[in-house]
Amino acid sequence: MQTKSARTFHQQSASILVPTVIEKSHQGERAYDIYSRLLKDRIVFLGTAIDSHVANLIIAQLLFLENESATKDIIMYINSPGGHVTAGLAIYDTMQYIKPDVSTVCIGMAASMGAVLLCGGAKGKRFALPNAEVMIHQPLGGTEGQASDIMIHADHIIKTKERLNKMLAKDTGQTKSSKNALPKSFKNRALLRQLRTFLLIFMSS
């Protein structure tokens, strides 16, 4: 399940050159690509649409950082339009599975599965920059074939929606009938307002 905008975002991002950083020490100079240098400081950057390849890279980084230290926080910056639900849930499950807290920060946009990952950060350690945007929508997908195949696919989408509903409710403190109190586990009030609006739309659909 992946939107057209997510595919376009991923294709455009794949063609961007990755900067190299030169770090000097008493042992000499060492060149890093920018993401490897961030990883050294326990920073993971999700800046593309989410597919199985991207998910595997993010998961590998999270597991590596847990192996480096099970007590130090990991910071995940998110600027993503979302993407494949299954791939996104693999990242989400890893975030919950590893011992270090994963702090999530939205920069630019966290949409679809990107928003689910933002909500999946450790409580009290979820942030959004002032102009960041968060968008949550129902699972999208398409299929063709025999009527029985279409029914199976539709049933899978409905079950996926119910699963995401439960995850978002648990992570934000919201329920389908919750329309008043904003979740207090986010540090950015603008994000709280956006999350409540989109979450209520998502869960009441």
Residues belonging to the active site:
112, 137
Structure tokens of 178?
């919750």
CB 100, CB 65: distance < 8 Å? yes
Contacts of 132 (CB under 8 A, 6+ apart): 106, 107, 108, 109, 110, 188, 191
Which strand (E) or helix (H) includes residue 126? Answer: strand 126-128
Chain-centre distance of CA 108, in angstroms?
13
Q: Classify each residue of 179-201 as buried b or exposed e, where b means 16 or more C-beta atoms within 10 Å of its C-beta.
A: eeebbebbebeebbebbbebbbe
CB 42, CB 72: distance < 8 Å? yes
